[in-house]
Each structure stands twice: as C-alpha cells, then as structure tokens.
Amino acid sequence: MANEEKEKSVGKQLEEKLLSSRKNGLLKVDADEIEIADAFCEGYMKFLDDAKTEREAVTAAIALAEANGFMPYDPSRRYAPGEKVYSNVRGKSLILCVFGRNSLDCGTKILAAHIDSPRLDLKQHPIYESSDFALLKTHYYGGVRKYQWVTIPLALHGVIFKADGSRVTVNIGEDENDPVFTITDLLPHLAQEQSKRTLSDGIKGEELNVMIGSRPFKDDDVSEKIKLNVMKILNEKYGIIEDDFISAELEIVPAFKAKNVGLDCGLIGAYGQDDRVCAYPALKAVLECDNPADTAIAVLTDKEEIGSVGPTGLNSDYLRHFLESIADNADVPAYTVIRNSKCLSADVTAAFDPTFPEVHDPRNASYCNYGLAMCKFTGSRGKSGCNDASAEFVSGVRKIFDDNGVIWQTTELGRVDLGGGGTVAAYIGNMDMEVVDVGVPVLCMHSPFEITSKLDVYMAYKGFSAFIR
C-alpha cells in the first residue's frame, strides 16, 4: 500500500510551473533507453575507427548509404517521394537526400555536420634527415594545442597522386601489425628552458616533426642514408618517389582507437569526435528516414575547421548547386526551396569541465549527459561572426525535441569575452535559410582524445531524426 502523497505547498507548485529545472539526462530516461544509446554508440565507435579523415568519412558514409538503398544522384532526373540519393563532393564532402512527400515549394530539412578534424598535415617537402633520424615536417590544420600532439602514437592517412595522375591510398598505423609514428619532446631533466615558455609556445609549429625512420641504407656514396632507406620502403610499398609528396594530402592523426571511458563505460574517448559525433548521428538519421514529409538532407562537409573555405567547404556554393539542381528538376524556383528550407547546423559544443569551471557561465554551459545541446548563437566578443538563430525557429525546434522525447539542453561556448568560435551555421544562414546550432557537448575538444557521453550521442540521433521526419 502506497503512502499518501504529501500535498505540495503553493510555492512548490508555483516553482514547478514557472521555473526551469535542470537534471542529468540519465535520471530522466529508463534503463531500456540507456541500453539503446549504448548499442547506438557501438556503431558510432566503429565509424570513428574507420573514418579518421574527411575522405575516409565520405568513403565509409557512401558504403553505409549504398547498403541502405541510396544511389548516386543523377542531375538529369526528376525524383519521386521516398527515393534516396547521394552526391559525392570531390571525395571530401557528401550530400545525402531522401525525397519527401511534400512539394519542394515547402523547402527541405537539412542536417549539416563536418567530417574534417584538427590534425597535422604533411608539408609539400616533408621528409628530411637529421642526426641519424628520418623525420617529416608538418603544418597543423585547425585549432591544435600543439603540446598535446607529442609523445603519443600517430598514424599516417591520406592520398598521393603521382605524376601520371594515378592515386595511392595511404593508411599506416591502424592495423595491429603496423608501425606507428611519434613526435619527440624533451625529458624533464633538460627542459628547464623549454618549461619557461608559455603553454601555447611549449611546442612550436616547426617542432611538430614526426619520427619516421632510424636505419640507414648502407652505401658510402649516399649522403642521406636514413632518408633514402625510408624512401626505399615507401617506394616498395606505394611506388612513390619524393616529389610525389607535392601532390599529396597526408594527415597525421592519433593511432589509437575509440575507447569506453570510466568504470561505468558512460563516456567515449576518441580522436575526431568534433564533428563525427554529429556527422554519424546525422548520417544514421537520414539513412533510416523513409518517406519523410519534407525532403530530408544530410550534408557531411569538409574544411569547417579552417573556415569552411574552398570548393568542399560550406562557404562555397556546392550545397546551393545541389538544391538548385533538385529544384530545377521539380520545376520549382530554387530560391523558394532555399528560402523555405530549415537546417540544424550539427556541431559540437564545449562541455562543462569540472577541473576548469572558471571558463564557463555555469547557468548557460552544456553538461555531459544532459543531452543534445542547442546553441542559439556562437561567435566571439559581441556575437561577432555568428548566426544568431531566430526565436521563431528556436521555438519550432524546441517543440520538435520536446514532442519526441529528446533529452536536450542549451549551451553557450564559454564565458563572454574569453574566446569563441563559429560553425557552418553562418554560411547556411547567409543562403537565406533558417538555421540553428545543435550538437553534442565535448570535453578536451580538438585534443587527440576527445570525450563525449553516450547518452548525448544517442540524443543527437534522436533529435536529428525527429527534425527530418
């Protein structure tokens, strides 16, 4: 027999009615949903291991898309509701589209996430010999805290286009039997001078040199014996010569795989979660989207980390061109499709860090396990450079999340005037489209080992699915 519930005081009733409450998402969902979230994240962790570069993410996403009935987009065709296509943007970005029941006059629903991540790119003349070692010169890509990239196992991924135009795909350091690479740092015993540097200068850009070999090619007539030996190994494996580095895109990334973090396995630690932690849920949402009302699109884009530049970044016209093409084929003005489309700019946000609470406004920060985070505006100083989503659109997205059991929260990227950042939302907004940032909170963002919560990853998928349904 249950005890009679104590009647709530008037103040308590008013408090519940009028005031916001915030609660750990794991206390709001049942055990079944936590199990579903954990299972979803197994697929996500595999995707992280398979796709450490933008090109690898495109390849992995196309394989999943084709397995789910998606066909390459044919710009000369008119498509019927329910048909599923993908458009490969120069091998580095990808558009997936499921045609909706409604006319394109109504616009489309777009999920936009990025698949490039901070890393160390090889320079055009990378390989050199120094003090009986062969090393690679790098130039970091995106916002990297350089001191985090030394003394860890590193892998080499990418493509080389030889002088005859033939392509070589490189992936060394991921297989259990592969060697890995690393960047050296000083021993504490001899680091007195280095330790006086500021943290941002602790390791300098020109010190991010990757160790690639140590054994000489024995021939007294050769001056750079270790470099030659490394080139010989590369030539035997890939048929390349030193000049082929000029037309290559080779990326140094952490060699370790995605791991469960914590005794309760509630967190995921991995490289490249910014922004594959939104790209994978967006991809899955569209792959599993059957017969949506409005045409549903996922854009997995390159170059966000360096400003969305170039023909594979969202500051180019590639998304507009795709929308124009489907509009033309449906005899609808492209500007009508674009103007009536709505977009979730799906990108990560900074999770509240218990060790560095001072960088956050605790009332407006996002927290791990509190769900998908909506960020009305990003930018720096006075919201400079951001898309500030309209209250009308935020209201609509809020209702979709609430009506569909999505655990979600709001976020702002750190304290005012402390720093800041931007996303693709600004470029999508500039197309004349409603857009708001939503994404997964991340600890140690841009580090070699970024941390997310499994519940939040699953809530991203749930929220994105509800938005495009």
CB-nearest residue to Mn ion: 275
Which one-letter amino acid corresponds to residue 392?
E
In terms of CB distance, is 244 or 347 closer to Mn ion?
Answer: 347
State yes or no: residue 33 binds Mn ion (CB under 5 A): no
CB of 22 to Mn ion, least distance (A): 24
Cα–Cα nearest to 172, from 267, 52, 72: 52
Q: What angle do CA 310, 441, 173 make, to 5 degrees?
A: 65
By CB under 5 A, which span of 3-11, 121-129, 275-283, 321-329 interacts with Mn ion?
Answer: 275-283
Q: Which of residues 100-129 bind Mn ion (CB under 5 A)?
A: none
CB atoms within 10 A of CB 391: 9
E-assigned strands of 131-270? 133-141, 154-161, 167-172, 182-183, 210-213, 248-254, 259-261, 267-270
Do the strands 71-72 and 167-172 form a parallel or antiparallel pair, or are they unpaired?
Answer: unpaired
Q: Are 269 and 449 in contact (CB under 8 A)?
A: yes
In terms of CB distance, is 244 or 275 closer to Mn ion?
Answer: 275
In terms of CB distance, is 248 or 253 closer to Mn ion?
Answer: 253
Number of residues near Mn ion (by CB under 5 A): 3
In terms of CB distance, is 347 or 456 closer to Mn ion?
Answer: 347
Cα–Cα nearest to 402, from 463, 469, 337: 463
CB of 441 to Mn ion, least distance (A): 12
Q: Which of residues 335-354 bind Mn ion (CB under 5 A)?
A: 347
In terms of CB distance, is 244 or 274 closer to Mn ion?
Answer: 274
CB of 190 to Mn ion, least distance (A): 34
CB of 252 to Mn ion, least distance (A): 17
CB of 305 to Mn ion, least distance (A): 5
Which one-letter amino acid corresponds to residue 275?
D
Alpha-carbon distances, residue 129 vs 172, 227, 235, 239, 247 (angstroms): 20, 6, 17, 21, 21
In terms of CB distance, is 234 or 277 closer to Mn ion?
Answer: 277
Q: Per-residue DSSP letters for 333-378?
A: -HHHHHHH-EEEEE--EEBPPTT-GGGS-TTT-B-TTS-EEEES--
CB of 64 to Mn ion, least distance (A): 21
In terms of CB distance, is 56 or 275 closer to Mn ion?
Answer: 275
Tokens representing residue 319 in the block: 């998304």
CB of 114 to Mn ion, least distance (A): 6
State yes or no: residue 275 binds Mn ion (CB under 5 A): yes
CB of 274 to Mn ion, least distance (A): 4
The terminus-to-terminus CA distance of the chain in angstroms comes to 44
State yes or no: residue 274 binds Mn ion (CB under 5 A): yes
Q: Are 455 and 29 in contact (CB under 8 A)?
A: yes
CB of 439 to Mn ion, least distance (A): 8
Q: Which of residues 138-167 bind Mn ion (CB under 5 A)?
A: none
In terms of CB distance, is 275 or 412 closer to Mn ion?
Answer: 275
CB of 353 to Mn ion, least distance (A): 16
CB of 404 to Mn ion, least distance (A): 24
Site string for Mn ion, 290-329 (x = CB under 5 A): ----------------------------------------
State yes or no: residue 412 binds Mn ion (CB under 5 A): no
In terms of CB distance, is 158 or 421 closer to Mn ion?
Answer: 421
CB of 443 to Mn ion, least distance (A): 13
By CB under 5 A, which span of 10-18, 87-95, 153-161, 269-277 interacts with Mn ion?
Answer: 269-277
E-assigned strands of 108-166? 108-114, 119-130, 133-141, 154-161
By CB under 5 A, which span of 11-19, 235-243, 272-280, 316-324 interacts with Mn ion?
Answer: 272-280
Cα–Cα nearest to 339, from 435, 250, 462: 435
Residues 139 and 8: their CA atoms lie apart, in Å, by: 62
Q: Which residues contact 424 (CB under 8 A, 6 or more apart)?
A: 112, 114, 301, 304, 308, 314, 345, 347
In terms of CB distance, is 287 or 413 closer to Mn ion?
Answer: 413
Cα–Cα nearest to 59, from 92, 99, 19, 14: 92
State yes or no: residue 437 binds Mn ion (CB under 5 A): no
Residues 49 and 157: their CA atoms lie apart, in Å, by: 12
In terms of CB distance, is 85 or 442 closer to Mn ion?
Answer: 442
In terms of CB distance, is 274 or 302 closer to Mn ion?
Answer: 274
Question: Residue 268: beta bridge partners?
Answer: 260, 452
Q: Which of residues 347-406 bind Mn ion (CB under 5 A)?
A: 347
Residues that bind Mn ion (CB under 5 A): 274-275, 347
